[in-house]
Amino acid sequence: MPDKTVKTPYTVIDADPHFSRVVRYFRPSDYATWTAGAAAFPSLLYLWNMADPLHNVRHRTVLRLGGLLGFVGGFLMAYQNSSARFWGWAENKREEEMDLAELRQRLAEGKPLYPESTQPGWIQDVAYRNSVWSQLKFQAFPMFNFVNHQHHGTDPAKYAAKEKDSSE
């Protein structure tokens, strides 16, 4: 199955980034989104309870559940924002520079561009097909890419070390 090519306003860094890369590349705005989600959900539940009180209900349990749901929802929003930058759907200059530095360093150390997987190739292919674009349906079924594979939708040649001009 060929990879779907999407025209984006910014450079595509990775079509299906690994979970650890997406979280490592979080910006302060992503952490702010996560925090806002974690704080807003129980706050809104509290305000809603003030407007329409529940009687004979332990509010502490409701607020704890709201805090958990806000924490998870805020993380999913932050993860989705970070993934959009990997896909080139949002401004990603910082991530592009970090990606170039990280992968050029791996090449300089003699390592492959992306970590090797111990799983068979067909499992890697299935994992890729299941997780690519999955960040768009977090509200229905949160799925992350935890499998190292070779399907990234970018040209590996761009990571080759640039040679300095020695003609001078």
**DSSP secondary structure string, 100-120?**
HHHHHHHHHTT--SS---SS-
pLDDT in tens, 59-115: 888 899 999 999 999 999 999 999 999 999 999 999 999 999 998 998 899 888 888
Q: Which is more confidently placed, 116 or 43?
A: 43
Domain hosting residue 119, numbered range: 19-159
DSSP letter at 1 equals -
Task: Supply the pTM of this predicted model.
Answer: 0.84
Confidence of residue 152 (pLDDT cuts 50, 70, 90): confident
CA distance readout (Å), 19 to 30, 109, 122, 146: 15, 23, 20, 6
> How many structural domains is the chain composed of?
1
Q: Is residue 1 part of a domain?
A: no
In a domain, 38, yes or no: yes
